[in-house]
Amino acid sequence: MTHQRLYINIDHIATVRQARRGDEPVPAQAVAICERAGADGITAHLREDRRHIQDSDIDAIASAVTTVFNLEMACTAEMLALAERLRPHQVTLVPERREEVTTEGGLALASATRGLSDAIVRLRRTGIRTSLFIDPDRDAVTRSRELGADAVELHTGRYAHAPGAGHALDALRDAATLGASLGLAVHAGHGLTTGNVGPVASIPEIEELNIGHHVISRAIFVGLDTAVRELRAAMDAARRAA
């Protein structure tokens, strides 16, 4: 099976710093460690409320990355202007609600699609690949294709919260197969850990995983290098066995 890319989401390092509104730990310092440990890319989400990653982090991360940078952001005028200035390899457009603890669901593609398709055109013109964070749902995959996205990232939250529930995994498999058959690159992420990543990593159509909270949590005890290597090993083992 082909190599599956692992992008590490380093927002959670900024969450620790913001708890004190201090100056440590510095997210950009994680970039080289993650890359040395086998990350294929670095992901960060600049939220409109700046609750974790700050604008200065985004600049520092973009400069530090030697693999690729996946900027997660809401589809707003402010964020689009930032992406055009920074020119990351990829933008993942996500829904954002201030009251949520994390990104709790995929984009609502039935509404506000004009804004999304305009954003995709603008990003493509700048040379940026666009991925849409969606629920593993056939209609959402088809709409993403119609909107002109290069990729979809399937929200794995429902699976991660009940990994024994076969239907959540079936929905991911079904959406991944459909996405690939429509010519979309298929990514996945949210709530994945070394313990539950196997069945998702072994879906052949899924090219890329974005994983954050678990890696940073695990890093507290074993260090970031080991935490990334453990995750990489769990993904590789699952893909070899599939």
For ligand PXP, the binding residues (CB under 6 A) are 9, 11, 45, 72, 92, 94, 102-103, 133, 153, 189-192, 210-214
Nearer to ligand PXP, 94 or 151 (CB): 94
Measured CA distances, 177 to 58, 134, 152, 163, 242 (Å) = 33, 15, 12, 20, 16
Catalytic choice (35, 52, 72, 96): 72
**Kind of pairing between the strands at 5-9 and 151-155:** unpaired
To ligand PXP, the closest distance from the beta carbon of 41 in angstroms equals 12
CB of 57 to ligand PXP, least distance (A): 14
Asked if residues 44 and 27 have their Cβ atoms less than 8 Å apart, the reply is yes
- Among 12, 52, 187, 190, the one annotated catalytic: 190
Helix (H, G, I), strand (E, B) or coil at 102: coil
| DSSP E strand boundaries for 30-85 | 41-45, 69-73
Asked if 130 and 90 count as a contact pair (C-beta separation under 8 A), the reply is: yes
Q: Is 45 a catalytic residue?
A: yes
Give the nearer residue to ligand PXP in terms of CB position, either 35 or 72: 72
Question: Rounded distance, CA 119 to CA 113, Å?
Answer: 10
| Tokens (6 digits) for 226 | 């080991």
Residues 189, 209 contacting (CB under 8 angstroms): yes
Complex with ligand PXP: residue 62 or 152, whichever CB lies closer:
152
The minimum distance between CB 20 and ligand PXP, in angstroms, equals: 21
Q: Which of the residues 45, 52, 155, 187 is marked catalytic?
A: 45
Q: By C-beta, is 154 or 178 nearer to ligand PXP?
A: 154
The pair of three-digit structure tokens given for residue 241, joined into one six-digit string? 């066995």
Q: Give me the least distance between CB of 121 and ligand PXP, in Å please.
A: 21
CA separation for the pair 69, 38 (Å, rounded): 14
Taking the complex as a whole, the smallest distance from the CB of residue 18 to ligand PXP amounts, in Å, to 15
Q: Which is nearer to ligand PXP, 57 or 153 (CB)?
A: 153
Dihedral, CA of residue 45, residue 50, residue 51 and residue 55, to nearest 10: 70
Identity of the amino acid at 18: Q
Task: Name 187's bridge partners.
Answer: 153, 208
Catalytic residues: 45, 72, 190
